[in-house]
Structure 1
Amino acid sequence: MLAALHTLRDTAGVTSLPLDIPGVERARRGQREMLAQLDDYIIPRVSSLDAPLLAVVGGSTGAGKSTLVNSVVGETVTRSGVLRPTTRGSTLIHNPADARWFTGTRVLPGLARQTGTTAPANDPDTLRLVSCNAVPVGIALLDAPDIDSVVSANRDLARQLLSAADLWIFVTTASRYADAVPWELLHQAIGRGTSVAVVLNRVPMDAMQEVRADLAGMLMEQGLGQSPVFAIAETSLSRDGLLPVTEMGRVRSWLRSLASDAHARGLVIRRTLDGALDSLAARTAELRAAHEAQVRGAGDLTGQAAAAYDRAVGGVQEGMRDGSLLRGEVLARWQEFVGTGELLRQLDAGVGRMRDRVTAFISGRGKAQPADDLGHALQTGVAALLQAHAESAAIAVSRGWRNTPGGAPLVDAHRELASVSPDFTQKAEKLVRSWQDDVLQMVREEAGGKRATARFLAFGVNGIAVMLMLLVFSATAGLSGAEIGIAGGSAILAQRLLEAVFGDQAVRTLSARARTRLLELTTELYDGERQRFDDVLDEAVGGQDGLGSGALDAAVSAIEQAR
């Protein structure tokens, strides 16, 4: 049983819920409460069933919890106050013979220990231990902070202490026994099988029967009909601030009989422990569902980033087909390179004549405008195309994450994600240069023994390479009007000139290879940009999706088998 409980505790402890998706706060609170009860109560109790019964005295602010505890033991061992919250820390009162059970970290290991009645009791992170002979051996009383304290740390500690109790002594008053907050915790106690006793404090004598009957009916409706109920009449306190002995007789007698009767004490402990163990399956199921929601949420965010950059690659691919790169500077440099206007009028005269005219044109110009000018224009255009689609993808993912559960905090914490990485421009330019080098190599490999031919020499390796690059962007789907005639005609001319050197099939193969290579490099570049989003998400989720919800189910199954 202990091994199975430790496995569940470890597994639940490493199940992270980092994304702010709907319902996550409730799931995180449930996870914290389950881990706290495993640490503070279930594991310690299973490991030492014969330890003293721990009765936690809890209730609303001003209900008289500390006064009740002091009156039970007959001396002031815990301080009550006037200012709210009245109880700010926690005090555990035990018989000296039971000190060994509480001085260590067997229960409530997260709280530091202080000893003595004079030690301050206003630190939520400290448990003050008071040894008192008036407390019978076998039972300990713990005065908890107010369950409805205005201080959140006190409320959290009160809930934690109640989860660590074998028995919850719920203290309320005749005027506040129907308040919502106490009944919320009573419902929690019912769900977890915690044994409960109720002390109804400050009851006017003339309303005693009516109030007791009403409270008993409420307890019956909520499944707590077997819980002991003690009513204390409204009365004056003694000079020491204690309730009259006559009013405390029934409570004291009940606690002493519980402490002296090992069988009765064992029944209370077993009932509460069984209830806590029974609750683990449902609580673990909630944690598993929350974990799976986190995995789905992380998957949604990852999918958005992947889809956006896939669209960016598609945008570049479309930009390669629609002829848009053949506008402006590229078109001007192409015309300067080959004298497009004249050559287009001679298309019908045959490729041989075109080659002669191009050769004459280049020779006549003295190569004043070399192929490098056209290559540089293409490089600038392709780099701009890559930049535009990368920027659009970054904006799209950031906007999508902001509108997706769990994504907004990540984008707010990493505002740099909304734009391309700082060195993207340099990377894009380097990519294009690398692609141009690849195209040059393709031309050299394809030329083989043709390098010495007149047709090859007429253009040179660089000239043929830039024409091949131009052909990669040869479709005219994005152009209209006169642009089709000019840009489209330029591409046709480049194709015919290349076919004169290599043949039509070789040109188609070269063009496809060059286009594929550019898309490969683009995909690698955009993968790097998308990785920024993946890294932010991985840092947030901490790899929790690798745990798998099956580990939680297996841990609960092991506990059930051990029982």
Structure 2
Amino acid sequence: MSEGLATALKSLRAQLGRDLFPLAIGNVEADRHAQKELTGQLDDYLIPRLAAIDAPLLAVVGGSTGAGKSTLVNSLVQDDVTAPGVLRPTTLAPTLVASTADAAWFTSAHVLPGMPRSTGDGQQPGTLRIVTSPLIQPGLALLDAPDIDSVVTANRELAAQLLAAADLWLFVTTASRYADEVPWGFLRIASERSTAMAVILQRVPEEARVPVAADLRRLLKENGLAGTPLFEVPELPLPSERARLPEMAVRPIKKWLDGLSADHEARADVVRRTLSGALDSLSVRVPALAEAAERQLLGANELRGLVEKGYDVGMADFDEAMRDGTLLRGEVLNRWQDFVGTGDFMRSLETRVGWLRDKVVAAFTGRPAPDKRLRVALESGVESLIRATADGSAERSVDAWLSTPQGRDLLERTGIETAGKLGRVSADLPPKAAKAVRDWQGYVLDLVREEGADKRSMARAASFGVNGLGLLIMLTVFASTGGLTGIEIGVAGGTTVLSQKLLEAVFGDQAVRRLTDAARANLRQRVRDLFDEEARRFYTLLEGMESTDTHALRAAADAVEQRKTDFPGGAA
């Protein structure tokens, strides 16, 4: 009957097997802990218990430091199976005490499958020690857990894991510590999840027995645990030769446990209550995890958006540099003067376009070196601009990530060296930029060839040469002079006007605008592609973080909810 529910639980477990919380967003440690706790309960309790409803009960003895858990277990079996003491923590590895008839069940991986087993006398941290006792009746085993408030983090985590794997909690406290907050945090969880439990109040002085027990019952009622069995163990000196109480002191607890062991229906009721409570808790715990995971998605998207913005700003800087005449400074201006002549030559543009055309033709045919040097200077200028704007984008992106908790944490985990490299252009960018500019120049030359092939003025275009006209088109891409001052304005303005006039004389004004727009758009797209490649260095760090399918997680929880009717209720 429970096969459908078991399948649904396994599907949910698969969804929880991914890292849902890689980024430092909100109280991420609590989110990670909740995921680990739920995953552990599925592995250690829900899935194995559903597969074996009639298996022996596991009663976990838990509580605070020094509450006397180990002493209680030794006293119940009248044997020193665990090692109590004054040093803390005492329980370094949990000890499970079972009847000989149930030993095989607990020695195998049916319960707490992730923990290795041992049957020797020593306590090996991280292992589950199995011992047998003739005073433990078949059908129920006792597990002595580490302290829930241990100074050792691993012990606290193990204690919580063991309690989550229990059919029954035996919660041990003392007259002096019964109101401590840490134990009540666990007891409230038990209440929320309807976990079957009993509370054992130890070390109760006779004069305090009545008021302390009454106050503890009051606290149990206030925390939703009214009716929880409460056993009182008086404060008694322990015999020096053994670490256990007299049999009469724990007789009521032993009688109650033996009754559970002997009563099949009572055991089934414990399983039904605890298992149903754990299943019901999924309808709250999984959506909470999914909501927290969605915050992770938003955080990852925010980091991606910051990088996109950083490189968009870089692209805008590149666009502005194409418009403001920045590329017509320095070396390009010098090479242009070498190419066409002096300032007097440019001042005669308006009235002597034909003469200028002849002059430029002569420059192409008689002095090829200036043409080549101008093209190289322009190429070098564009490459430098690409590197500078990409550098700025990388630096902006790193700074933006450092301004967010998740980005700062992610960069810190990548290491200082990697974070430093991300703040600069990659080593691959300079050669890629050089190739992109050369390819762009080739594209412009192809545009000139195609345009010239369809013109009646083909002979005139041929007189300038494809290279010459292509170079003029490249110069018109950077047509504005807004960023120049002084004499540079006149020189750059002459550059623009000369290029424009000569091209219009060959192709016409509409064709020149079309060629210039196509050349500018093509260059821009090549730069955009380079920037996208640079940004991918950041996106690589986000791989997997933006693909968490919270819908699948919620759907898996819904499937469990729908299949809970398959649960046979723990009946035989």
Provide TM-score, normalisation by structure 2. Answer: 0.93
**Which amino acid counterpart does residue 291 of structure 1 have in structure 2?**
A
Does residue 437 in structure 1 map to residue 458 in structure 2? no
The answer for the alignment partner of 2:570 in structure 1 is none
Query: What per-residue deviation string (whole Å, max 9, x for no partner) do you get for residues 325-373 of structure 1?
Result: 111111111112112512232123232132234446667xx41642111
The answer for the alignment partner of 1:197 in structure 2 is 198
Q: Which one of the candidate residues 507, 517, 521 is aligned to 2:526?
A: 521
The answer for the alignment partner of 2:478 in structure 1 is 473
The answer for the alignment partner of 1:410 in structure 2 is 410
| Cα pair distance change 1:106/1:523, threshold 3 Å | same
Number of aligned positions between the proteins: 557
| Cα pair distance change 1:437/1:389, threshold 3 Å | same
Q: Which one of the candidate residues 49, 52, 63 is aligned to 1:48?
A: 52
| Cα pair distance change 1:229/1:181, threshold 3 Å | same
Question: How many Å apart are 1:476 and its aligned residue?
Answer: 2.2
Q: Aligned partners of 1:77 and 1:360: how far apart in 2?
A: 106
The answer for the alignment partner of 2:76 in structure 1 is 72
Q: Which moved more, 1:67-76 or 1:238-247?
A: 238-247
Does residue 143 in structure 1 map to residue 140 in structure 2? no
The answer for the alignment partner of 2:22 in structure 1 is 18
SS of the residue corresponding to residue 13 of structure 1 reads: coil
Query: What per-residue deviation string (whole Å, max 9, x for no partner) do you get for residues 485-511 of structure 1?
Result: 221222011110111222222211111
SS of the residue corresponding to residue 299 of structure 1 reads: helix
Query: What per-residue deviation string (whole Å, max 9, x for no partner) do you get for residues 220-259 of structure 1?
Result: 1111121111111111113322212221121111111222
Q: Aligned partners of 1:434 and 1:453: how far apart in 2?
A: 25
Q: Aligned partners of 2:565 and 2:489: how far apart in 1?
A: 77
Q: Aligned partners of 2:511 and 2:244: how far apart in 1?
A: 104
Question: How many Å apart are 1:460 and its aligned residue?
Answer: 2.5
Q: Aligned partners of 1:347 and 1:50: how far apart in 2?
A: 101
The answer for the alignment partner of 1:256 in structure 2 is 258
| Cα pair distance change 1:453/1:163, threshold 3 Å | closer
SS of the residue corresponding to residue 111 of structure 2 reads: coil
Question: How many Å apart are 1:428 and its aligned residue?
Answer: 0.9
1:536-555 equivalences under 5 Å are: 536-538=541-543, 541=545, 543-545=547-549, 548-555=552-559
Does residue 530 in structure 1 map to residue 535 in structure 2? yes
SS of the residue corresponding to residue 172 of structure 1 reads: strand
SS of the residue corresponding to residue 14 of structure 1 reads: coil
Q: Which moved more, 1:546-555 or 1:21-30?
A: 546-555
Q: Aligned partners of 1:546 and 1:258: how far apart in 2?
A: 42
Q: Aligned partners of 1:191 and 1:15: how far apart in 2?
A: 26
Q: Is the 8 A contact 1:219 1:225 kept in 2?
A: yes
1:22-421 equivalences under 5 Å are: 22-116=26-120, 118=121, 120-123=122-125, 125-238=126-239, 239-359=241-361, 366-367=366-367, 369-412=369-412, 413=414, 414-415=418-419, 416-421=421-426
Q: Aligned partners of 2:212 and 2:231: how far apart in 1?
A: 12
Q: Is the 8 A contact 2:70 2:82 kept in 1?
A: yes
Question: How many Å apart are 1:20 and its aligned residue?
Answer: 1.8
| Cα pair distance change 1:375/1:17, threshold 3 Å | same
SS of the residue corresponding to residue 407 of structure 1 reads: helix
Question: How many Å apart are 1:543 and its aligned residue?
Answer: 4.3
**Which amino acid counterpart does residue 286 of structure 1 have in structure 2?**
A
Q: Is the 8 A contact 1:382 1:432 kept in 2?
A: yes
SS of the residue corresponding to residue 223 of structure 1 reads: coil
Q: Is the 8 A contact 1:60 1:172 kept in 2?
A: yes
Q: Aligned partners of 1:166 and 1:518: how far apart in 2?
A: 69
Q: Aligned partners of 1:342 and 1:358: how far apart in 2?
A: 15
Does residue 2 in structure 1 map to residue 6 in structure 2? yes
Q: Aligned partners of 2:217 and 2:195: how far apart in 1?
A: 18
**Which amino acid counterpart does residue 380 of structure 1 have in structure 2?**
S
Query: What per-residue deviation string (whole Å, max 9, x for no partner) do you get for residues 504-527 of structure 1?
Result: 222111111111110121111111
Does residue 504 in structure 1 map to residue 504 in structure 2? no
Q: Aligned partners of 2:256 and 2:549: how far apart in 1?
A: 51
CA RMSD of the aligned region, Å? 2.1
Q: Which runs of 5+ in 1 are unaligned?
A: none
Q: Aligned partners of 1:299 and 1:433: how far apart in 2?
A: 35
Q: Which moved more, 1:341-350 or 1:374-383?
A: 341-350
Q: Which moved more, 1:396-405 or 1:56-65?
A: 396-405
Q: Aligned partners of 1:243 and 1:461: how far apart in 2?
A: 104
**Which amino acid counterpart does residue 66 of structure 1 have in structure 2?**
S
Q: Which moved more, 1:407-416 or 1:175-184?
A: 407-416
Question: How many Å apart are 1:278 and its aligned residue?
Answer: 0.8
Q: Which one of the candidate residues 472, 483, 491 is aligned to 1:486?
A: 491
SS of the residue corresponding to residue 241 of structure 1 reads: coil
**Which amino acid counterpart does residue 143 of structure 2 have in structure 1?**
L
Q: Is the 8 A contact 1:284 1:552 kept in 2?
A: no
Q: Aligned partners of 1:245 and 1:369: how far apart in 2?
A: 109
Q: Aligned partners of 1:359 and 1:10: how far apart in 2?
A: 74
Q: Is the 8 A contact 1:355 1:458 kept in 2?
A: no
Q: Aligned partners of 2:203 and 2:486: how far apart in 1?
A: 94
Q: Is the 8 A contact 1:55 1:139 kept in 2?
A: yes
SS of the residue corresponding to residue 173 of structure 2 reads: strand
Q: Is the 8 A contact 2:168 2:270 kept in 1?
A: yes
Query: What per-residue deviation string (whole Å, max 9, x for no partner) do you get for residues 452-483 of structure 1?
Result: 96643553222221111111101123334443
Q: Is the 8 A contact 2:293 2:550 kept in 1?
A: no
| Cα pair distance change 1:264/1:474, threshold 3 Å | same
SS of the residue corresponding to residue 58 of structure 1 reads: strand
Q: Is the 8 A contact 2:96 2:128 kept in 1?
A: yes
Q: Is the 8 A contact 1:410 1:537 kept in 2?
A: no
Q: Which runs of 5+ in 2 are unaligned?
A: 568-572
Q: Is the 8 A contact 2:62 2:146 kept in 1?
A: yes
Query: What per-residue deviation string (whole Å, max 9, x for no partner) do you get for residues 140-181 of structure 1?
Result: 110011111111111111000001111111111111111111
| Cα pair distance change 1:530/1:13, threshold 3 Å | same
Q: Aligned partners of 1:149 and 1:6: how far apart in 2?
A: 32
Q: Is the 8 A contact 1:334 1:340 kept in 2?
A: no
Question: How many Å apart are 1:30 and its aligned residue?
Answer: 0.6
Q: Aligned partners of 2:483 and 2:556: how far apart in 1?
A: 56
